[in-house]
Amino acid sequence: MKLKILIYMNEESFSSGKKDLKELIRSTNDKFIKEDLIRFLKIPSYTSNTAAIKEAKDFITSYISNFCDKIIDIEGEMNPLLLAEVDGDIKDRLLIYMMYDTQPVNKEKEWIKKPFGAEITDLPKPLDKLGKVIIARGAYNSKTPLLCFLNVVKLLKEEEKLPISLLLLIDGEEELGSPTLLNTLKIKKNTFNACTDAYYPSIKQDLNKISVLKLGYKGILSLTIKVSTTNKELHSAFSAMIPNPAQDLIFVLNSIYSENKFKINSLSVPYKMTKKENIIIENLMESIDLGIIKEKAGIRQTLIDDPKGNFIAYLFNPTFNISTLKSGYLENGVKNMVANKAECNIDIRFAHDISVNLIFEEIKKKVNNLTRNLKSRFEIILNMGYDRSKVRENSILVKSLVDSFKELGFTTQIWPISAAAAPLSQIQSQLGLNFIVGGLGIGGYAHAPNEFVQVNSILNTRLSNYLFLKNYVDLYSEV
């Protein structure tokens, strides 16, 4: 009761003496985009760009230094992790996870504007209907939501209106699988003792302006398989008498996954949907427009024609993706030769409630058995991995977000899980905290050419950040 009275008195005095908070956010929006966001998006902070990563980290540190009570710069395996404390009206802290690194730029010729130019323009049809957008790597995933949230916290602190204390966890290695973050969760558990829940600010509206809120993420395993021999690269006339790493690699890959099915025990059994998940799917099929989802993602072909079957497969089926496969002569023209090495990068995503270590050890064992009689040398490298994560639909986190979207006039679609992966399971398993990803705003083409955020939706991103914090405190005070 004391908490509710305090909040009411603060809002009363605020409205009588200062600008309304929502009006303050609206009135500063254009300035924020031009002076803060575009400047931040121009920094080419893809994970391996050390100089730009430092520039982005310094930008964030400078941006939060006036309102954070403590900022810790944790040295990372590649890039720093920032940990910052912000005091609010309540001493208990909400953990806020964000990331400032991005994927590198791919297929630069397909970009309509410079990938780190952060220019305001129009997208080609059919997305020209969105109006003005900012084109930049990281505009959608996830530098825009990061800075929008920090800007709102900055305004709230300046007005002495931050309703709850925060612990900011800002990751510079998310695209690597967050190794420093995961290690920090293990060795610095006491740092998070005051945290109540965890939130990852994002922009998650579809092209119909409906907010999409997902109750968890798939787990992921990323690995590399390298195959080699001691031979030089020889003429293909010798292929009958020497081992071929490319052929041996293909043999092994087909023994792990082929014809859209896993051949390892842990993922060979189909995911069994719960009763609640079935209900959510049935409700979604009445309102969801898969055509819009495919249009936004740039999908032209799918494996399954049935819309419902295709959607269920997208959410729940385990995936085996070869993102890199290279061997042999890779220059122009043709050269008949036997490669002396081959390698591939694989990512496996899964909704199953199983350990990522179990999957990796099973693959390792299978590869060792299969290659026992092969002459090629095999090396299996674990890049990163984490289990799936889930949050209850009736949690404070979910209710706070849904209420904030509703207050701004937007409806919410609840999805049972996301087909993407994020290191959220470790925050749950290591810290025992619920975790949610969500927020208003329209963007797309993560990891692809012409990544964008819609200019007109940025205001709603910032407004929903404020309303989420306010609603969270209101609900938290009732528990």
DSSP 13-31: HHHHHS--HHHHHHHTHHH
Helix, coil or strand: residue 36: helix
CB 320 within 8 A of CB 223: no
Residue 287: predicted pLDDT: 81
* Of the listed ranges 33-42, 223-232, 286-295, 420-429, the one predicted with least confidence: 286-295
Q: What is the pLDDT of residues 117-165, one digit of tens each?
A: 999 999 999 899 999 999 999 999 999 999 999 999 999 999 999 999 9
What are the structural domains of the chain?
2-215+391-476 (3.40.630.10), 220-271+317-386 (3.30.70.360)
Is pLDDT above 90 for 305? no
The tokens of 191 are what? Answer: 């740092």
**Percent of the chain scoring above 90 in pLDDT:** 82
Residue 258's closest CA among 207, 215, 322? 322
Residue 363: predicted pLDDT: 97
Mean pLDDT of 81-104: 97
Report, in angstroms and rounded to the nearest whole number, the Rg of the chain calculated over CA atoms. Answer: 24
Residue 201's closest CA among 149, 136, 141? 149
Residue 1: predicted pLDDT: 34
Residue 8: predicted pLDDT: 36
**Helix (H) or strand (E) segment spanning residue 91:** none
Residue 296: predicted pLDDT: 62
Q: ω into residue 142 within 30 of 0, thus cis?
A: yes
Is pLDDT above 70 for 17? no
Mean pLDDT of 419-429: 83
CA atoms within 13 A on the CB side of 251: 17
Q: Where are the beta strands (DSSP E) in 63-210?
A: 70-74, 81-86, 93-99, 119-121, 133-135, 165-171, 195-201
- The most confident of the ranges 17-21, 52-56, 281-285 is 52-56
**Average pLDDT along the chain:** 92
Taking the C-alpha atoms of residue 105 and residue 365, their distance in angstroms, rounded to an integer, is 35
Helix, coil or strand: residue 291: helix
Q: Count other C-beta atoms under 10 Å from residue 224's C-beta.
A: 14
CB 246 within 8 A of CB 342: yes
Mean pLDDT of 50-74: 97
Q: What is the pLDDT of residues 158-206, one digit of tens each?
A: 999 999 999 999 999 999 889 999 999 999 999 999 999 999 999 999 8
**Which residues contact residue 171 at a Cβ distance below 8 angstroms, ignoring those fewer than 6 apart?**
81, 97, 98, 99, 100, 101, 178, 180, 181
Sheet holding 133-135, edge to edge: 119-121, 133-135, 452-454, 443-444
Residue 307: predicted pLDDT: 85
Is pLDDT above 50 for 14? no
Residue 177: predicted pLDDT: 82
Confidence of residue 479 (pLDDT cuts 50, 70, 90): confident
The tokens of 360 are what? Answer: 């990796």
Is pLDDT above 60 for 392? yes
Residue 299: predicted pLDDT: 78
Of residues 2 and 217, which shows the higher confidence score?
217
Between the two ends of the chain, the Cα-to-Cα distance in Å is: 11
CB 82 within 8 A of CB 74: yes
pTM recorded for the entire structure: 0.81
DSSP for 183-217?
HHHHHTGGGGTTEEEEEEE---B-TTS-EEEESEE
- The most confident of the ranges 185-189, 362-366, 421-425 is 362-366
Is pLDDT above 80 for 45? yes
* Of the listed ranges 164-168, 223-227, 333-337, 470-474, the one predicted with least confidence: 333-337
Torsion of the alpha carbons at 47, 48, 50 and 51, rounded to the nearest 10: -90
